[in-house]
Amino acid sequence: MKERIHLHRAYKRLAAAPPISTTIFLLLVALCDVLIAVFYKPLLDGFVSQVGQLAALAGVPTAVTHWRFLPVWVTEMPVLDAPASFPSYRLSLITFVLGVLVVVIVPRLRPVPKVVRVYVAFLSLLMTASAIFFLFFPHRFPYDVVDFSLLYMGTQFGMWLLMPIVMGVALSSLPSPVPEKLLVIVATVAYGAVFGAIRYASFLFLLQKLTVLSMAAMFFALGPLIDFVYMVSIYAIYVNIVALRLRDRPEVWRWSF
């Protein structure tokens, strides 16, 4: 016997959200964004300084450089410069051979889950493409550590601005208090800042140890792609909490029949 019998889920819904609370929530989300945009300078300076300290712990010396060229309100972007090594012909060749081998062998490793195989193959393809570039046009590689840092910081700052919007939109329809939803957004951005700092320091370390050969893989396979994973994880945990809470509150639900 079931302990409780719920009404059918087919036409279950929530009451329409009061327009006032939705509007207030979305305005507060916009305010979050405005605050990040207005206080970008201390935020970015603080972030870069933390990354510098983390990198120093890993034995990577860094120096802060300020880029002043941006046409928008962010007129200055602090970025870190650090020593990085350039791949030798031999390393590029080894990477190419290994990359091709991984791309050929990994898809055939049946015991490994296919999602993992596809992700590893994607990572290896990026490394192989990079190795080919360094085998044939080593002097045309367009980035140094400062360029990469600028790219990273631009993406990181873009994420800080977009995260509240994406999370705000996703959370807006959920039946929970506005302050709670705002807290989830702030927690996501805060997690993003901590994770972003550790990742930036790790990238600087890897650029020194693995050479700039790994730059493309870092950016495309371990960059914004991973940011979305933790953002969705936080959303999923929160929906789980809301779902458990609503289970004991049948009065919240409406049925269209």
Partner 1 sequence: MVVLILKLYVILVVLVMSVYAIRHYWLTVNRLRGEQRLYYQDLVDDDLPRITVLIPMHNEELVARSSIEAILRCEYPRELMQIIPINDHSDDRTGEILDELAAEHEIVTPLHRHDGLRGKPAALNDALEISRSNVIINFDADYLPNRGALRDLALSFKDPEVGAVMGRVVPINTEANLLTRLLDLERSGGYQVDQQARHNLKLMPQYGGTVGAYRRDLVQAFGGFDPTVLAEDTDLTYRLYISGWKIVYANRVECYEEVPETWQVRSRQIRRWSRGHNSVMFRHFLPLLKSPYLNRREKLDGMLLLLIYLVPVFLLTGIVDSILLFFMGEMQIIESVFVFLFVASYNSFGNFAPFYQIGTASLLDGVSHRVRLLPFLMFYFLLNIWTISSGFFMAVLDKLQSRTAEWEKTQRFRKEDQA
Contact set with partner 1 (CB under 8 A): 6, 8-17, 70, 77, 110, 113-116, 118-119, 122, 126, 129, 133, 142-143, 150-152, 154-155, 158-159, 162, 166, 169-170, 172-174, 216, 219-220, 223-225, 227-230, 232-233, 235-237, 239-240, 242-244, 246-247, 256-257
Q: Which residue has the tokens 């603080």?
A: 46
Min dist. Cβ of residue 111 to partner 1 (A): 12
List residues bridging with 67 in a β-sheet.
77
Considering Cα of 44, then 46, then 50, then 56, what sign does the dihedral take? positive
Stretch (H or E) spanning 218: helix 215-221
Min dist. Cβ of residue 102 to partner 1 (A): 15
CA distance 237 to 241: 6
Q: Is the CB of 5 or the CB of 57 nearer to partner 1? A: 5
197 torsion bin: left (phi>0), alpha (psi -120 to 50), beta (else): alpha
CA distance 192 to 227: 7
Q: Is the CB of 39 or the CB of 228 nearer to partner 1? A: 228
Min dist. Cβ of residue 4 to partner 1 (A): 11
Min dist. Cβ of residue 255 to partner 1 (A): 8
Min dist. Cβ of residue 57 to partner 1 (A): 27
Q: Is the CB of 55 or the CB of 77 nearer to partner 1? A: 77
Strand, coil or helix: 174: coil
Considering Cα of 183, then 163, then 220, then 63, what sign does the dihedral take? negative
Q: Is the CB of 89 or the CB of 228 nearer to partner 1? A: 228
Stretch (H or E) spanning 80: strand 77-81
Q: Is the CB of 53 or the CB of 114 nearer to partner 1? A: 114
Min dist. Cβ of residue 41 to partner 1 (A): 16
Q: Is the CB of 14 or the CB of 35 nearer to partner 1? A: 14
Q: What is the dihedral of CA 146, 149, 151, 157, to 10 degrees?
A: -140
CA distance 199 to 193: 10
